[in-house]
Amino acid sequence: FHDPIAQYDYDNDVQGFFNVDVHGIEYYLGGDTGLRHSWVDTDVQNGVTYYYAVVSYDRGWEEKNILPSECTKVIVKNNAGEITVDKNTVFVTPNAPAAGYVSPEIAGGLHRIQGFGTGDININIIDPALVTDGEYRISFDDTTRQDTLSYTLSQIESNPPDTMIIFSHSEALMNEDVNPLFAGMRIQVSNDTIAPDPENTGWAQGVSNMLIYAERDSYWDGFLGRIEGFPTSYVVQYGVVDSSTLKNSFKHLSNFRVIDKVSGKKVRTYLWEPSEGRDSLLSAGDYLRLQLKVGGLWRDTWRVYFVAPEE
């Protein structure tokens, strides 16, 4: 019968009001929000005491008319003004910060040491009083396979040099609020869905009516367990004498090369041509299979098609 100021529940299709009521009142099971482990009350006044209770609840059992139940929440104030709370409740009196207080911040923001990616990493300061000076590193495991996409957070000490792992192999990649709290902070990671970017695909110089489009090369996915897509940007340079490889054949001199814009390195490329017009030159009707070497194996990443315009 208490009206919650915030409510979070599992994202599991158990939501809405429980269908069994008590004197016309139904228990609200939530809205499939997903769990969160922190909440900030921004509507408070300094010098005023506030009382909070954080409790879990179950889903009940509708078929047996068993109502949802909550954990206890006890706040008692006796005649002497002494307050007693249980483990699920707390009371606080906010005050203005001391003169000269500076809120903790991430100095200079996050810096990429090596590798590349297109997702987001957010650092949320939950308890400013626990934040101390420190250097931290987040490292991702092999991101080229479907079954190893995870990351590890470590604290880096310089004197003496040392590395302390805070947590390892987290698979929270959808901005979930589930990673352990460290030094009053919590990190959340949002992974991108890798897909072609048609808005930024086109001719860097000159004009042509040849159509270009890309798609994920999924030919070897089942065998190699490769991730769905590979995040990078490519430049196809025409008029450059280079070598490419024809499917089921050896290397041939061609009129193009492909550069990975992120790494700056040349990309191994297979040139596919129709059997009746093979000349080792990239032209309309051909497509490129771009590859990445992982663990000693060359793996296909993207196919780039070059299509003649309709007459």
* Residues 261, 202 within the same domain: yes
Question: Where a domain ends, among 92, 107, 129?
Answer: 92
Give the chain's end-to-end CA distance (angstroms, integer): 71
What is residue 139's predicted lDDT score, i.e. its pLDDT? 92
Encode the chain (311 residues) as per-residue pLDDT tens digits.
578 999 999 999 999 999 988 888 899 999 999 888 889 999 999 999 999 999 999 999 999 989 999 999 999 999 998 999 999 999 999 999 889 999 999 988 898 888 767 789 999 999 999 999 999 999 988 666 555 579 999 999 888 888 999 999 999 988 889 999 999 999 999 987 777 888 888 888 888 888 888 888 765 555 555 555 677 889 998 877 776 665 556 677 888 899 998 888 899 888 888 877 778 888 888 999 888 877 777 878 888 999 988 76
Amino acid at 301: T
Q: List, for residues 17-26, the tens digit of each pLDDT value.
A: 999 888 888 9
**Is residue 113, in this structure, part of any structural domain at all?**
no
- Residue % of the chain over a pLDDT of 90: 42
**Is residue 84, in this structure, part of any structural domain at all?**
yes
Residues 180 and 38: their CA atoms lie apart, in Å, by: 12
Average pLDDT, the chain: 86
Within 10 angstroms of residue 115's Cβ, the number of other Cβ atoms is 10
The whole domain housing 174 covers 120-190
* Residues 58, 139 within the same domain: no
* Residues 171, 223 within the same domain: no
Of 207, 217, 190, 227, residue with least CA distance to 272: 217
* Residues 211, 302 within the same domain: yes
**Is residue 53, in this structure, part of any structural domain at all?**
yes
Dihedral Cα 219, 220, 225, 226, nearest 10 deg: -70
Q: List, for residues 271-290, the tens digit of each pLDDT value.
A: 888 877 778 888 888 999 88
**Is residue 58, in this structure, part of any structural domain at all?**
yes
User: Beta strand 287-294 with 269-272: parallel, antiparallel or unpaired?
Assistant: antiparallel
Residues 34 and 177: their CA atoms lie apart, in Å, by: 9
**Is residue 11, in this structure, part of any structural domain at all?**
no
* Residues 210, 298 within the same domain: yes
Our count of domains for the chain comes to 3
Amino acid at 219: Y
Residue 261: C-alpha distances to residues 66, 132, 237, 258, 265 (Å): 61, 38, 12, 9, 8
Helix or strand or coil: residue 62? helix
Give the pTM: 0.67
Which distant-in-sequence residues (6+ apart) come within 8 Å of 237 by Cβ? 256, 257, 258, 259
* Residues 223, 288 within the same domain: yes
**Is residue 302, in this structure, part of any structural domain at all?**
yes
Q: Which two tokens stand for residue 195?
A: 């897909």
**Is residue 108, in this structure, part of any structural domain at all?**
no
Question: Where a domain ends, among 163, 190, 217?
Answer: 190
